[in-house]
Structure 1
Amino acid sequence: MARRMALVNNKGGVGKTTTAVRLAEGLAKAGHRVLVVDMDPQGNASRRLGWAYDADDPQPTVSEAIQADRDGSLASVITPIGWDVEYASRIVLAPARLELENRMAEAGVVGSWRRLVKALDGVDDQIDYTLMDCPPSLFHLTQLALAAAEVVVIVTEPEYDSVEAAIRVRDFVRERASELANPDLEIAGVIVNAMQNLGSHADQLASIRETFGGLVWDPVVRHRSLLVDADGDEIPLTEVRGEKAGEVRAAYELLAQTTVKAVPVR
């Protein structure tokens, strides 16, 4: 059975989706089988992995799997990704589109926060890592992922608001996990993105390390425009060219190694 990881922050724009996609890539390059579950109605992880919705041949998405409220319903949603590289065969996707927003209206339905747990039942037994890319909130869609996860990885950037949002995630997990019938849920790590050579960033990184201690994973990912371009072009880092391309690829490959050490495959 997969190690299920929810990637979370209570603030948008911190690089959470980039981390989900590139961590999946790094794990796959290392030989691991990865399922990416896109829990964000924006569907950015789905797009960046090369998936596109076809209105003429509608594909089921995470929204339909959750709505089904049935054991194993996510199996009918999972699809290969669109990258044309060898290791892409080790990544599969449960895609999302804006329609996932409709599931928010079900938050008050008894047991609705357990629907992703049920949808995943038996589906990722042959997967090493299930990465759930959550929206920038702590409400229903994120709670679905937290109920299904074994561990949380907080993704942040060295900015004051982002760090405060990361602390809110930590506190929510500590105080509310039992209410999601997941009392053993824990923070496995904190990934810091978009580091620049700024005094304010150095100060905030020091604050992150003081607040989260040994949970902060290395390496810290530096801000690189070519990473933004790769996300926009929906391509794997293997296809990126540029002076800093090797550095960016190495950062996520090392983070994949850190993931395996912190959350080892059973």
Structure 2
Amino acid sequence: MAGSARLCVTNQKGGVGKTTVAINLAGGLNERGHDVLFVDLDPQGNATEGLGLLEAYDAEPPTLLDALVEPSAVSPSELVYDHPEMDVVPSNIDMNAAESALGGESDGETRLEPLLESLEEDGDYDVVVVDCPPYLGLVTDNALLATENVVVPALAEPTSKRSLELLFDYVGALEMDHDVQIEPRVLVANRVENTKEADHMIDWFEEALPDVPLYRIRKRVALQRAFADGRSIFGVEEETDMQSVFLEIAATIEETVFEATEVPA
């Protein structure tokens, strides 16, 4: 993983605000002075939309899927779009076929790694942020194995217990199969409300993952407005108290992922 720090944002449970966390974490890293590459692996393309690149979702080949399935036929630089805060490899409607296409390849779960290496060589990035699909499978396997660092968004509600248990069981099996170590770096309790249920879940998060830093993101209209504007909350003029939280998360990534990959913080 020389050249850039890498992390993926994943939770197989949908509706947890995964993409919002990914975009604003990337924005926070950029705000702290880092050159960021954002890779949208989600076939739904929510991050692609949230970064104002919806036209890329319906673009003609070469696409991200082409680069994963037939890498020799694609120049990685063709996949990169400019954004005011970061470079972006958008998702594409073709990614809906990724699970079946990669399933036919003997190394289908490790195709992202060499692609990221090529992109890093071209772009000289400090950090790569990968937004995963809201399910487990070959596409998410690629993200986990290529980055080996995980940011986990979760809602402060009881359903998160089972989803986190399933995720970490899955990661453990992947580690054994590929002889790697995949580290949970940050747990983001997202859309936290002032309820006793939320308080109980925060306590559970802290007890279940005592060594993983926990951050609380509260629901703010500013986050929705920034998404609609195609930016992170650091790329718009409106300020919110959640900016400081995302900057804290970015600082934690510097102290853990950056340190492990010898990237200057």
Aligned counterpart for 1:115 among listed residues 89, 111, 115: 111
Deviation track 1:34-81 (CA, whole Å, cap 9, x = no partner) reads 111101011111111121326997363321211223498533211212
Letter of the 1:16 counterpart? K
Number of residue pairs matched?
254
Deviation track 1:108-141 (CA, whole Å, cap 9, x = no partner) reads 4211112111222232141111111001111111
Letter of the 2:184 counterpart? I
Q: CA deviation at 1:175?
A: 2.2
Q: CA deviation at 1:95?
A: 0.4
* Cα distance between partner residues in 2 of 1:236 and 1:9: 20
Aligned to 1:139: 137
Letter of the 1:34 counterpart? V
CA contact under 8 A between 2:222 and 2:240: conserved in structure 1? no
Letter of the 1:77 counterpart? L
Answering whether residue 94 of structure 2 is matched by residue 99 of structure 1, we say yes
Aligned to 2:258: 264
Letter of the 1:69 counterpart? P
Q: CA deviation at 1:23?
A: 0.5
CA contact under 8 A between 1:155 and 1:193: conserved in structure 2? yes
Q: CA deviation at 1:182?
A: 5.1
CA contact under 8 A between 1:6 and 1:132: conserved in structure 2? yes
Mapping 1:102-181, distance limit 5 Å: 102-106=97-101, 107-125=103-121, 126-179=124-177, 181=178
In structure 1, stretches of 5+ residues that fail to align are none
CA shift in 2, pair 1:235/1:152, >3 Å: closer
In structure 2, stretches of 5+ residues that fail to align are none
CA contact under 8 A between 2:132 and 2:140: conserved in structure 1? yes
> What RMSD over aligned residues (CA atoms) do the two structures have, in Å?
2.2
Aligned counterpart for 1:184 among listed residues 171, 177, 181: 181
CA shift in 2, pair 1:55/1:169, >3 Å: closer
State the percentage of identical aligned residues: 27
CA shift in 2, pair 1:52/1:163, >3 Å: same
Letter of the 1:234 counterpart? G
CA contact under 8 A between 2:48 and 2:91: conserved in structure 1? yes
Answering whether residue 248 of structure 2 is matched by residue 250 of structure 1, we say no
Letter of the 1:255 counterpart? I
* Cα distance between partner residues in 2 of 1:121 and 1:54: 22
Deviation track 1:234-261 (CA, whole Å, cap 9, x = no partner) reads 23324253xxx33022221121112111
TM-score by length of 1: 0.87
TM-score by length of 2: 0.88
